[in-house]
Structure 1
Amino acid sequence: MKGLLAVGALTLILSFSLKSQISQPAETLSSKKLIRDFFETAMNYPEKSIEAKEEGKVLVGLTVSKSGTCNNFYIIKGVSPALDAEALRLSKKILWKPAFENGQPVDAEATLEVPFNIKHYKRRKGLSATSELIFNPNLMDTSGVIYIFAQLESRPKPLLNDKYRNLTNYISEILIYPETAKTAGIQGTVKLDFVIEEDGNTSNIRVATSVGGGCDQEAIRILQSIRWMPGRKDEKQVRCASTFEVTFLLSDKKQQNIPNRQSGGL
């Protein structure tokens, strides 16, 4: 009997270990670093919180469904009502991949940490070339729906300094070919998927086609430097899915870039 119990216990332990190895937690589509970058760029730090010197990290809990949609957002660890509300707003912008168990998608709990630092916030806003740009909140769609270009009345447009003729010219002027890629003779086109938010910021950036050698990071740097005039639907500024491409070509001529070949979906 003892032998049977021991075998049964061992089988249970092995089964539990195997299940733990197969299980995969829910993950954000974008990397942790890019999410932090988005939080810093898109954050609306409440003026009263700045005056009161309220800072800290808000921990947000949420449920990621097996379809990848998110709901049941709540505060696990807050700082103040105003900062907690802003943390919830930002967290709802992040897209997720569902958790998997035994090869099947399942509902799962997840968390996001939103840091609030007044010094970092002021520095980031000071560096932003479009920090003075203000969109009317009443014209922004708050449903959270992400549209494709075919559904829009007007497509988003990059907001660039007048000295740049167009987006292609802008990319050509600021692109820095990574030394690692040069040395290794790496060429190719980096394709990024992302979302243009209703306030013109970019979110959920991820690499769809990688080149390597630092080219992916350079393409991301360029995309992050651009603010957009949002797309419009039903006279509202809305979220929309887009793609951004930068071609890295080694030649004696100026590097050629193929920017912003935008798709109709994520």
Structure 2
Amino acid sequence: MSILRPSIIGLFLILCSYSGLAQYTELKPVMGPKALKSFLKHYLDYPKEELLSNTQGTVVIDFTTDQTGKVINYSIKKSISVKLDSSAISIFKLILWKPARMYGKPVSGSSNFELKYNIKSFRKLSRRRGYEHIILPFEPVDISGNIYTLKQVDTIPQAILDPGSKSVSEFIYSKLTYPDAAAKLGLEGEVELSFIIETNGLPSNIITLKYLGGGCTEEATKIIETIRWVPGKVEGKAVRTLYNISVHFKKNEKRDRHIPNQSGSGM
């Protein structure tokens, strides 16, 4: 027994260690890793002065959230320059977070956010996405960061569509491709997505409320990422607006539909 005891104690310590790790879950963005990566590709902007001066590097932001996932403080841990630091902070402030959890209960948490600025990569990204700098479609803008529902805004967001599309549903239908995997599996149904229409007219924080497999959710998300908007307005200022949308996938259906959801609470 004395020979086995150290092994048993060691195993007990390992199990306790794993148990301790499982008790705490780190905070993370509400959008998944793929959506976050796509978000950064659409939102990354490079100040013109920093492009001309060939300023590059990685900005690191330390931050803390409360029990709801709201950022309560942040600071620059690693700086590049005033303008690039400011650019990184403006992007960071748009990200919504799921709170850290201890024993399954939400708690305050700390983490860091990194954003790399590389001129060669930015030039390549700009060509691929079709724009170098983000131009605001409407000014002035609300800088509070508050998020409004469709019922709370004075003017709801309006999609900027191709000339041939009269509505968001027509635009989605014209771009949507029924995934081969879904067709082979005979999958039909609805994908429901929630996202924020930012003051710059781009969607952010896309999350899936209702999932459909076979590549349908990914296809719907891809289309939503391409839509540009005139933002919602409150008291004459562009504001962040919560928007829900449903995309239906049905084999041999004449057209796909979307249903804006005007319910939900502001943030």
Check conservation: 1:58, 1:84, Cα contact below 8 A.
yes
Would the alpha carbon gap of residues 132 and 91 (structure 1) be closer, same or farther in structure 2, given more than 3 Å must change? closer
CA gap 1:93/1:85 in 2 versus in 1, 3 angstroms = same
1:185-241 deviation digits (Å, cap 9, x = unpaired): 011110011111111111101111000110011001100000111000011100011
Aligned-pair CA distance for 1:182: 0.5
1:120-170 C-alpha deviation (Å, 9 max, x unpaired)? 434444455687873378501111111111211000010112221211111
- CA positional deviation for 1:245: 1.3
Deviation at 1:45, TM superposition (A): 1.3
CA contact (8 A) 2:29 2:97 kept: yes
Is 1:263 the counterpart of 2:263? The answer is yes
Q: Does 1:24 align with 2:25?
A: yes
**What's 1:151 paired with?**
152
Superposed, which structure 2 residues align to 1:6-17 within 5 Å? 17=18
The Cα shift of 1:246 comes to 0.9
Q: Is the CA contact (8 Å cut-off) linking 1:95 and 1:204 kept in structure 2?
A: yes
Residue 219 in structure 1 maps to residue 220 in structure 2: yes
Partner of 2:3: none
The structure-2 alpha-carbon separation of the partners of 1:265 and 1:117, relative to structure 1 and needing over 3 Å to count, comes to farther
Q: 2:67 maps to what in 1?
A: 66
Query: CA–CA distance in 2 between the matches of 1:201 and 1:136?
Result: 10
Does residue 165 of the first structure (1) align with residue 166 of the second (2)?
Answer: yes
Structure 1 unaligned residues grouped into runs of 5+: 1-5
Shift in Å, 1:9: 10
Aligned pairs for 1:88-167 within 5 A: 88-128=89-129, 134-135=135-136, 139-167=140-168
The 8 Å contact of residues 223 and 244 in structure 1, kept in 2 or not, is answered as: no
Mapped to 1, the partners of 2:138 and 2:119 lie a distance apart of 23
- How many residue pairs match? The answer is 260
Q: Are the aligned partners of 1:244 and 1:262 in contact in 2 as well (CA < 8 Å)?
A: no
Counterparts in 2 of 1:12 and 1:119: CA distance versus 1, 3 Å: closer
Distance, in Å, in 2 between the alignment partners of 1:222 and 1:47 is 30
Q: Percent identity?
A: 30
Question: Alpha carbons of 1:265 and 1:124: their partners in 2 closer, same or farther (altered >3 Å)?
Answer: farther
Alignment of structure 1 residues 174-253 onto 2, 5 Å: 174-251=175-252, 253=253
Pick which of 33-42 and 235-244 moved more.
33-42
Which shifted more, 88-97 or 126-135? Answer: 126-135
What TM-score comes out, normalization by structure 1 length?
A: 0.87
Q: What is the CA distance between 1:41 and its match in structure 2?
A: 1.5
CA contact (8 A) 2:60 2:79 kept: yes
The answer on whether the counterparts of 1:19 and 1:101 sit within 8 Å (CA) in structure 2 is no
